[in-house]
Structure 1
Amino acid sequence: MNIQVAERSVSPMTGHQSKGEPAVGAPVTRNEEAHHELAIRVRDLNLWYGQAQALKSINLDVYQKNVTALIGPSGCGKSTFLRCLNRMNDLIPGVRIDGLVEMDGRDVNEAKMDEVALRRRVGMVFQKPNPFPKSIYENVAYAPRMHDLVSRKTDVDELVERALRDAGLWEEVKDKLHQPGTSLSGGQQQRLCIARAIAVQPDVILMDEPTSALDPISTATIEDLMDKLKQQFTIITVTHNMQQAARVADYTAFFHLGEVVEYNDTQAMFSNPHTKKAEDYITGRYG
C-alpha cells in the first residue's frame, strides 16, 4: 500500500521535546508552516464503560487551525476520545472518566463547566448526515438564535448565507432555503450539517468519519472543504481511510487498544513511522 503525502516542510525536534523522545502528548516533529498555538491539551485521560476500560492514559496536544486525524482499527477508542472533547460521553450511562482535557486553561470535565456552552465551542459532525427536520434555512439559523448570537432577521439572513458559503453549499441551495434539509443529497446534507456546526463560530470542529457514508465525489468535496475550513477552525477527524488521512491531515494520532501508540506530523508518520504497530496499520498489514 503506497500512501502519498503532500510535501510539507518538517522541522527537527523543538525545545518542548527532549532529545530522542517527544514531550508527553507532543508530535515528534512539527509543521513549520502551520499555526502552533495549543487548542486542546489532554493529559492522563482514562475512560471506562462500566468495568471495561476504553481509553488508557491518553496524552495529546492538539494545535489550532490544523487538521488532526485519528486513525486505528475499529474499537480502538478513536470515537470515544473524540466525544471526550465536548463531553458527549456524558450522555452514555455507566461512563467514568478521569484525567485532564483542557481548553484555555480550564478542564472541560470540571463540575461547573457549562456543557451547552462547551458544545457551542466544540461542534460535532457525525458519521451519517443528521439534518434537523426543518428547512435548510432553519437548520443553520436554529443554534445561533438559541445562543442569542443573532436576533434581527437581517443578521440571521447574513449568518445563514455566510455559513452556507463557508460550507460550499450556498450556490446549490440559495433558491430553495425553505425546503426541508432532508430533501438534499447525502453529500449536501453533510455539508449542511457542517454549515450548522460552523454557524455558531466554534473554536473546534469534531468530525467522526464524516465521509464514510458518502460517494467519492462528495467525499472529495468534504475533504476540500476541510482544507479551507482549517484556516478558521481547528478540526479533529476520525477516519479509517489512510489515503484520506494522508490528504487532509497536518497531524495524525494512531490509536490501538485504547492507547495512543504514535502521534506525529502526518508526512513524517506515513513516510517513516516510529513504531512497528503504526507501520503495520498504515501499510495495511492489519486493521
Structure 2
Amino acid sequence: MNIQAASRHTPQPAPEVGQPVTRNANAHHELSIRVRDLSLWYGETQALNKLNIDIYQKNVTALIGPSGCGKSTFLRCLNRMNDLIPGVSIRGLVEMDGRDVNAVKMDEVALRRRVGMVFQKPNPFPKSIYENVAYAPRMHDLVSRKSEQDELVEHALREAGLWNEVKDKLHQPGTSLSGGQQQRLCIARAIAVQPDVILMDEPTSALDPISTATIEDLMDKLKKQFTIITVTHNMQQAARVADYTAFFHLGEIIEYNDTQMMFSSPATKKAEDYITGRYG
C-alpha cells in the first residue's frame, strides 16, 4: 500500500506498545474519552485486555485489526451496549467529562443519547422517514412544538446529506430507501438527539462503492461537530477518513497513532504486517 505521510505532520517517537499515543503536536485537540486498563470478559473468555487509549474531540478515530480482535466489543464499551449481553463483566475506566461511564449512578439512557451508534447493517425503524428522525428527540423532550420537530428533522437530514433526496417523501417508510440512503437515515437519526460522540461499526461494509464514498465524505463533514469512532476492515478507508488509528490484536491495542504516521511508518511489526496485507 502506498500511503504518503502529509508534510504537515511532525515526526514523533514511536509510542509505547498498548499505550495512548502522544498526539500530533500541531493538533491541539481536547480529550473526549479516556480509557485506562479496560478489560472485558464474556463469561470465562477474556475479550479485551487492559486497553489504554485517549480519544480526542472532533476527530475521526479508526479501529482496525483482524476479525475477532475486540474492535466492536471495545466500541460497545463506550455506550454500555455490552450491558445488554448476559455474562459480560468489565474492569477498568472509561471516562467522559471526568465521569466513569460504568459508575452505578450513570444514567445509561442519557449516556446513549450522548454517544450515538450507527451499525454495520442499516436498521431504520419500521416507521416513516420523518418518524425515524423525530421519534427519539421527542422521547427525550428535545422538541415540544410541531414546528420545532419539523425544523429538527430537516436539520438532521441535511446534516446527513439526505434532505434533497427525501424531502418530498418524508412520510414513506424508511425501509423504502436504498441501502446507502438507509444508512444516512440512521446517521440522521443519531445526529437528531444532539450527541457528543458517534460510534460507527463498519458503517460501509454492506454498501456499494458510491454509497461508501458518500458516507466517507459525510464523516469528514460531521467531525467538525462530533467525535467519530469507527470500526473498519478497509485499510484504504482508514487512511482516507481517520485522523487517528488504533490497531487491535487479540484483545489488545498494539499501536495507536496519528493515521498518517501509523500508515507511513508503523512502530510495531504486527501493525506493519497487518497494514501491508501480510495477514488479516
Q: Same fold per TM (> 0.5)?
A: yes
CA distance in 2, matches of 1:104, 1:29: 19
What pairs with 1:87-166 in structure 2 (closer than 5 Å)?
87-166=80-159
Letter in 2 for 1:230: K
What pairs with 1:225-236 in structure 2 (closer than 5 Å)?
225-236=218-229
1:69 aligned onto 2:62? yes
Q: Which runs of 5+ in 1 are unaligned?
A: 14-18
**Identity within the alignment, %:** 82
| CA distance 1:21–1:217, shift in 2 (3 Å) | closer
CA distance in 1, matches of 2:7, 2:119: 29
Q: TM-score, normalized by length of structure 2?
A: 0.97
Alignment-derived partner of residue 184 in structure 1: 177
Whether the 8 Å contact between 1:69 and 1:249 is mirrored in structure 2 is: yes
Q: What's the offset of the Cα at 1:36?
A: 1.0
Q: What's the offset of the Cα at 1:23?
A: 10
Alignment-derived partner of residue 6 in structure 2: 7
Letter in 1 for 2:155: R
CA distance in 2, matches of 1:20, 1:72: 19
Alignment-derived partner of residue 26 in structure 1: 20
Letter in 1 for 2:158: R
Q: Deviations over 1:90-149 (max 9, x none)?
A: 000000001000000000000010000000000000000000000000000001001000
Secondary structure of 1:30's partner?
coil
Whether the 8 Å contact between 2:15 and 2:256 is mirrored in structure 1 is: no
Whether the 8 Å contact between 1:5 and 1:247 is mirrored in structure 2 is: no
CA distance in 2, matches of 1:52, 1:107: 24
Whether the 8 Å contact between 1:262 and 1:274 is mirrored in structure 2 is: yes
1:81 aligned onto 2:80? no
Q: CA RMSD in A?
A: 1.5
Q: What's the offset of the Cα at 1:31?
A: 6.2
Report runs of 4+ in structure 1 exceeding 3 Å deviation.
19-25
Q: TM-score, normalized by length of structure 1?
A: 0.94
Alignment-derived partner of residue 280 in structure 1: 273
Whether the 8 Å contact between 1:141 and 1:160 is mirrored in structure 2 is: yes
CA distance in 2, matches of 1:65, 1:8: 22
CA distance in 1, matches of 2:31, 2:238: 21
Secondary structure of 1:240's partner?
coil
The number of aligned residues is: 280
Whether the 8 Å contact between 1:101 and 1:109 is mirrored in structure 2 is: yes
